[in-house]
Structure 1
Amino acid sequence: MLRSRLRPRSAPLRVAAALAATVLVAAGCAAGGGGGASADDPGSGRGSGSGGAAGTSADGSGGAGLDSDAGELADLAEQLAQGEDGVVSGTGGQRGPSGKKSDADARVGSEVVIGSDISWPQCPRGMGIPEKRSQGMPMPLPDAEFVIVGLTNGPGFTPNPCLADQVDWVLDHRLLVAAYAVASYPDAATVDAYGDQGPFPAATKIGRLKNVGYQQARFNVGSMGAAGLQTPIVWIDVEPVPDFPWSADPIANAAVVEGLARGYADAGYEIGVYSTPSLWQGVVGDLSLGVPEWRAAGQTSAAEALSRCGADWSIQGGDAVLGQWVEDRRDRNLTCPGVESDLVTWFHQP
């Protein structure tokens, strides 16, 4: 497995550290503790301030044509998997306190590297913006070799309220780390605030939307810097965002995503996209960035997540890097074939 290749560490020590961290996280949740920074300090990555992403879409559509009340991507992916995509759901395994090899490892092969992703739902309960209060969801299992940390509290311009604490948790566990951020459509006030700030022409609607996306990326880069999060890549999460709907115009939506991509690239990061083919098409139409892909399988299984690495599940023409499934209230991930030999391309090693 990965850790034996990069930094030898005995299984008993690894399990003991994970159990200790679980106790600490549980204690923090019980105490209602958080990052400690004030809510009016969004640049720290610990506050809960909003950048004005809520409200009516800039074009006044309110997101018609998309289900604005849909659940998070895992639920949507599960519906697709069990419906139009014809996937049979299953159950995955996990490594318990004994440190035994997980069922996920056994089903998908020894060369697959297992990891997880976390964000605002894993913060101590009650943090964040009113629409996205944190839930105190469980942290990754001991079999995780990498963690991808979410930068936002749902929509753009809202930081993950416990980002710095989550980064510290990952570093304390000596896990490989990367970052992702949800993309969202701006309301009219946000377009007014940021539409003329960026590299794109501000005289057109599309140019202004691209500039807003560019500023979303800059905001998230600032959050990473404040939290001490290093990563070679930022994954752009494209999906319907409950309470913060996309517009009915996929060209306008695509402009925001293109601006985000440019913002991360100008800051020196590689980019990838996280979605499913159906959700991507529903939000941005036939936009193709040709970048690497992290593919969601919903509440299915490790085997199904691995199958998403196949060509039939291409989102926008990029190479498959990761597959994700949901199990026991956790987002679980695995590397696609061949990625295990080039992990430094996709993760920072503390």
Structure 2
Amino acid sequence: MHRRLTGTAHVSARLTRLMCLIVVVLGLVLAPPASAAASPGGGTQSLLGNDVSWPQCNKTLPSGQAFAIVGVNNGLANTTNPCLAQQLEWAATSKGIAGQPRVALYVNTANPGTAGTWWPVSNEYPAGTVVHNPYGTCKAPDVGEACAYMYGYAKAYDDAYSRGIGTPSAYLWWLDVETGNSWSSNRNANRAVLEGMTDFFHSIQADVGIYSTGSQWGQIVGPVSNSSNLYSLPSWLAGARTASGAKANCANAPLTGGGRVTLTQFVSRGFDYDYSCV
């Protein structure tokens, strides 16, 4: 039932309606938009970087990253990321952070043996240049440590000089070690591939690190002795689902006995985010 208001009651009702309207309008102005998502850093943004590669081609990349890591290959060790130049330009906009290079690179690694599109038959690479091979002489159709070492050395050489990297010695090169690539059942040969890559990068005065998870590293390479050039390399650990999980993973064991965990990774909104542990 309705009744008409008059006099003081009528004015009071109008003031009440006006006050309610003001409250509603202020609520619309001050409330955050429902579609705004919280930062994946959750208060740790200054420690977060991003890594990108061919899967992010033609995508709008994150902005404001503290540091960036760009993939050199197109998913396989013998390919080139088609967006490498553009992604390096994006990486150069990184703000920088103590303990991490502003821009670093990562490369795919593998040990395909003679099933690959190319496999070494000697200790020469490139042609005419003899490489010191700690495992002896590579001879076809050997798929053991000697030729595996040369394969790794050659792939690192190609990454440095055939993919469009301007000054390869200026970068930290992360070796991406994942079960998704081709590997031998001989873990010693797999280790030799990574040692060959590491020796090449060290020969041009570049720094090297290892990216993997503990389980994948154990399956592909296994324990590394202190006589290996991999032993003291820093670790970048994948596997976290949140920024807080990535931060906690900084306390995990490194991939090699003499290294330490300097980076951890988590995925948010379709992009890889990296937490600096140092």
TM-score, reference length from structure 2 = 0.71
Mapped partners of 1:263, 1:319: distance in 2: 22
Match of 1:235 in 2: 174
SS of equivalent to 2:267: strand
- Which piece of structure 1 moves more, 208-217 or 224-233? 224-233
Q: Equivalences for 1:250-269 in 2 at 5 Å?
A: 250-269=187-206
**Equivalent AA in structure 2 for residue 234 of structure 1:** W
Residue type matched to 1:222 in 2?
Answer: Y
Match of 2:138 among 202, 215, 229: 202
CA distance in structure 2 between the aligned counterparts of 1:321 and 1:173, rounded to whole angstroms: 18
The answer on 1:160 being equivalent to 2:81 is yes
SS of structure 1 residue aligned to 2:63: coil
Residue identity opposite 1:199 in structure 2: H
Cα RMSD for the two superposed structures: 2.7
**Partner of residue 122, structure 1:** 56
Q: How much does 1:218 deviate?
A: 0.7
Letter in 2 for 1:267: I
Mapped partners of 1:208, 1:249: distance in 2: 13
**Residue aligning to 1:303:** 244
The answer to whether the Cα contact below 8 Å between 2:105 and 2:173 also exists between their aligned partners in 1 is: yes
Contact 1:247–1:253 (8 Å) recurs in 2: yes
What is the match of residue 39 of structure 2?
102
How far apart are residue 196 of structure 1 and its match?
4.2
Aligned partners of 2:255, 2:239: CA distance in 1, in Å?
12
**Could you tell me how far 1:115 is from its partner in structure 2?**
0.6
User: SS state of the match for residue 41, structure 2?
Assistant: helix
- In structure 1, the residue matched to 2:26 is none
For the 8 Å contact 2:235–2:262, the answer to whether it is kept is yes
Match of 2:150 in 1: 211
Q: Which has the higher helix share?
A: 1
Asked whether the equivalents of residues 177 and 231 of structure 1 are also in contact (C-alpha less than 8 Å), the reply is: no
- Alpha-carbon distance between aligned partners in 1 of 2:75 and 2:40, rounded to the nearest angstrom: 31
| Aligned position for 1:291 | 233
Q: In the TM superposition, what is the alpha-carbon distance from 1:297 to its structure 2 partner?
A: 2.0
The structure-2 alpha-carbon separation of the partners of 1:229 and 1:117, relative to structure 1 and needing over 3 Å to count, comes to farther
Could you say if the C-alpha distance between residues 119 and 155 of structure 1 is closer, same or farther in structure 2, counting changes exceeding 3 Å?
same
Report the CA distance shift for 1:173/1:262 in structure 2 as closer, same or farther (over 3 A): closer
> Which segments of 5 or more consecutive residues in structure 1 lack a partner in the other structure?
1-96, 125-135, 340-350
* Alpha-carbon spacing, 1:223–1:174, altered in 2? closer, same or farther (3 Å): farther
> Does the 8 Å CA contact 2:145/2:189 hold for their aligned counterparts?
yes
SS in 1 for 2:87: helix
Q: What does residue range 3-42 of structure 1 map to in structure 2 within 5 Å?
A: none
Q: Which protein has greater RCO, CA pairs closer than 8 Å, 6+ apart? A: 1
Matched, 1:142 2:63: yes
Contact 1:323 1:334 in 2 (8 A): yes
Partner residue in 2 for 1:321:
262
Kept in 1: contact 2:94–2:103 (CA 8 A): no
Other structure's SS at 2:185 match = coil
Residues 172 and 146 (structure 1), Cα distance of their counterparts in 2 relative to 1, 3 Å cut: closer
CA deviations on 1:133-161 (whole Å, 9 max, x unpaired) are xxx4x52x234111101111112121111
The 1-side partners of 2:164 and 2:208 are apart by: 17
Give the whole-Å Cα distance in 1 for the aligned partners of 2:270 and 2:182. 25
In the aligned structure 1, how far is the partner of 2:234 from the partner of 2:176?
Answer: 12
2:111 to 185, 196, 201: 185
* Bigger Rg over Cα: 2
Residue 227 (structure 1) shift: 4.9
Deviation at 1:279, TM superposition (A): 0.7
How many residue pairs get aligned? The number is 220
Correspondence for 1:56? none
For the 8 Å contact 2:120–2:150, the answer to whether it is kept is no
- Tell me the residue number matched to 1:130: none
Contact 2:120 2:151 in 1 (8 A): no
1:222 aligns with 2:155: no
Distance 1:247 1:147, change over 3 A: same
Change over 3 Å in CA distance of 1:226–1:261 after alignment to 2: closer
Question: 1:326: how far off?
Answer: 0.7
Query: In structure 1, what is the Cα distance between the partners aligned to 2:74 and 2:169?
Result: 19
Partner Cα separation in structure 1 for residue 65 and residue 203 of structure 2: 31
Once residues 275 and 162 of structure 2 are traced to their aligned partners in structure 1, the CA distance between those partners, rounded to angstroms, is 26
| Aligned-residue offset at 1:252 | 1.3
Contact 1:323 1:333 in 2 (8 A): yes
Structure 1 segments, 4+ long, off by >6 Å, are: none
2:218 maps to what in 1? 281
